[in-house]
C-alpha cells in the first residue's frame, strides 16, 4: 500500500471572535489556506484531484473554486461541528491509499461568531473530575496556561511560525472602519488572539469557572477563526509531480472511553500498539489544548513527566481553537517543527468530546524508511526519554 505523503502544510493566522478574520466568509478563509498550500508546494493546480474540507456542508466546493482549482474538483465535505478536522486528513490519506486519488488537498475552516467570545469548555464538570482524578492543582493549571502563551509568543518572536503561516487580506474590524464609508483592506499576518502581556498574577486573580474548581477562563482555549490545509499525495507519484514531502502520515487511530480518563489516551495507546512505535521514540507531541487540565491529565496518564516535547510552540490556549481547522493547524505546526529539529516521529492527539479521541503518527520525510509492525503487534508500553534527544 502506497504511503500518504504530506506536502506544504500551511495555516492562516488565528482570528479573534469579532475580528477581521471572523468577518470573512468561510470559503474565502479556506481558499486562502488552499491557495497557500498549492503555491508553496509548486504543484500544477490542474493536478489536484479533490479537496477534502472539514467545516460546514458545501464549503469544499466553494473553497476549491475560490482557490482557482479546476471546475471538476467536486469538494468533499466533512462535517466540522464539534470536531477537530482530523477526519479530513484521514479521508484524504485513505483516498491516496486506495488509489481513488493521487493529489488531495485536505484541511479545515472555522469562523468564530461574536457570541463565541465567551470562554467556557463544553463540559467543565468533566474537566474538574479529571483535575481531581489526576490531582491537578489550580497553580499547575495556571502555570501550563502561561507556558503555552510564552511558547507561542517566542515562536512568533523567533520567526518559527513564519514558514507555516499564510497572510490573509481582510477588511478591518468594525471598530476600525467608523472613519470611512468603505471597508479598509487589512493584512492579517499574525495570530490575533495571542497576548504576550498576560502575567501569572493576572491568571491567579481569575475566578474559577465552577465554584471551588481549578479551571479558569485563562486556562481554557477560546474559539477562533482560521483555516489550514496541506497536500496529501501518493508516495509513488512525488517524483513525477516534482513534489517534496515534509512527512508521511504513518498511521492513525480513534478510540472511545467512558470519560473517566483523558479522551485521547485510548487512541494513543491503540495507535502505538498497532504501529509498533513506542512513545520513547517520538520526538515531538502535539496535543489539543482544550484546557490546561486536560493536557496535564493526559500527560500524567501517559507518563509524560517532562513536558519539553509537548506543544513546544504553544497551542490553543494561546492561539485559540479554530474548530474544524484545529487538527490541520496542529498538523502544520507539528510537522514544521519536526523538520526544524531534524526529528523522526511526531505524534498528534486530539479529542472531539469527553469520551472520544483521535491520534495520528507522522514520520519525517528525511528519516530512513522503517519497517511497520503487523496489525495487532504487541504494545510495548509508553516509555519516556530525556528531552533534547532528536534523530538526525
Q: What are the pLDDT digits (tens) for 294-332?
A: 999 999 999 998 899 999 999 999 999 999 999 999 999
Closest Cα partner for 279 from 253, 298, 304? 304
Determine the Cα–Cα distance for residues 187 and 171; give it in Å rounded to an integer: 8
Sketch the domain layout of the chain as residue ranges. 4-113+122-363
Instruction: Quote the pLDDT of residue 293.
Output: 97
The pLDDT of residue 198: 83
Cβ atoms of 167 and 188 within 8 Å: the answer is yes
Taking residues 41-63, report their average pLDDT.
92
Mean pLDDT of the chain: 87
Q: Which of 20-24, 233-237, 371-375 has the lowest mean pLDDT?
A: 371-375
Q: Say if CB 332 and CB 13 are below 8 A apart.
A: no
Of residues 392 and 276, which shows the higher confidence score?
276
Q: 373 pLDDT exceeds 70?
A: no
Q: Out of 33-37, 185-189, 306-310, 328-332, which region has the weakest mean confidence (pLDDT)? A: 185-189
Lowest mean pLDDT among 196-210, 313-327, 374-388: 374-388
- 96-145: pLDDT as tens digits: 999 999 999 999 999 876 555 456 677 899 999 999 999 999 999 999 99
Q: Could you tell me the CA-to-CA distances from 256 to 141, 160, 269, 349 in Å, in that order?
A: 25, 34, 12, 13
Closest C-alpha among 352, 326, 357, 330 to residue 264 = 357
Instruction: Classify domain 4-113+122-363 by CATH architecture.
Output: 3-Layer(aba) Sandwich (3.40)
pTM for the structure as a whole: 0.89
Amino acid at each position: 500500500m502506497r504511503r500518504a505523503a504530506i506536502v506544504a502544510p500551511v495555516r492562516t493566522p488565528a482570528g479573534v471572535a469579532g475580528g477581521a478574520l471572523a468577518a470573512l466568509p468561510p470559503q474565502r478563509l479556506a481558499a486562502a489556506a488552499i491557495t497557500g498550500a498549492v503555491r508553496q508546494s509548486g504543484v500544477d493546480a490542474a493536478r489536484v484531484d479533490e479537496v477534502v474540507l472539514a467545516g460546514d456542508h458545501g464549503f469544499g466546493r466553494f473553497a476549491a473554486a475560490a482557490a482557482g482549482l479546476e471546475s471538476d474538483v467536486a469538494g468533499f465535505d466533512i462535517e466540522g461541528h464539534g470536531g477537530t478536522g482530523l477526519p479530513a486528513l484521514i479521508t484524504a490519506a485513505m483516498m491516496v491509499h486506495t488509489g481513488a486519488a493521487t493529489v488531495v488537498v485536505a484541511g479545515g475552516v472555522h469562523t468564530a461568531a461574536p457570541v463565541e467570545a465567551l470562554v467556557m469548555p463544553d463540559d467543565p464538570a468533566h474537566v474538574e473530575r479529571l483535575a481531581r482524578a489526576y490531582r491537578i492543582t489550580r497553580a499547575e493549571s495556571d502555570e501550563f496556561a502561561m507556558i503555552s502563551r510564552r511558547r507561542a509568543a517566542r515562536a512568533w518572536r523567533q520567526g518559527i511560525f513564519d514558514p507555516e503561516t499564510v497572510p490573509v487580506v481582510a477588511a478591518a474590524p468594525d471598530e476600525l472602519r467608523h472613519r470611512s464609508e468603505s471597508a479598509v483592506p487589512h493584512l492579517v499576518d499574525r495570530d490575533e488572539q495571542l497576548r504576550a502581556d498576560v502575567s501569572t498574577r493576572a491568571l491567579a486573580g481569575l475566578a474559577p469557572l465552577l465554584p471551588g474548581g481549578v479551571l479558569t477562563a485563562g486556562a481554557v482555549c477560546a474559539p477562533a477563526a482560521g483555516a489550514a490545509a496541506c497536500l496529501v499525495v501518493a508516495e509513488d507519484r512525488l517524483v513525477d509531480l516534482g513534489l517534496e514531502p515534509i512527512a508521511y502520515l504513518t498511521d492513525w487511530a480513534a478510540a472511545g472511553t467512558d470519560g473517566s480518563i483523558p479522551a485521547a489516551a485510548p487512541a494513543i495507546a491503540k495507535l502505538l500498539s498497532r504501529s509498533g512505535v513506542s512513545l520513547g521514540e517520538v520526538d515531538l507531541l502535539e496535543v489539543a489544548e482544550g484546557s490546561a487540565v486536560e493536557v496535564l491529565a493526559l500527560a500524567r496518564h501517559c507518563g509524560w513527566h517532562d513536558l519539553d516535547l509537548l506543544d513546544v510552540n504553544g497551542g490553543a490556549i494561546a492561539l485559540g481553537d479554530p474548530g474544524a481547522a484545529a487538527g490541520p493547524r496542529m498538523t502544520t505546526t507539528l510537522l514544521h517543527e519536526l523538520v526544524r529539529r531534524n526529528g523522526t516521529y511526531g505524534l498528534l492527539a486530539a479529542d472531539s468530546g469527553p469520551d472520544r479521541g483521535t491520534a495520528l503518527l507522522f514520520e519525517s520525510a528525511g528519516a530512513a524508511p522503517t519497517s511497520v509492525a503487523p496489525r495487532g503487534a504487541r504494545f510495548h508500553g509508553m516509555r519516556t526519554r530525556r528531552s533534547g534527544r532528536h534523530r538526525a
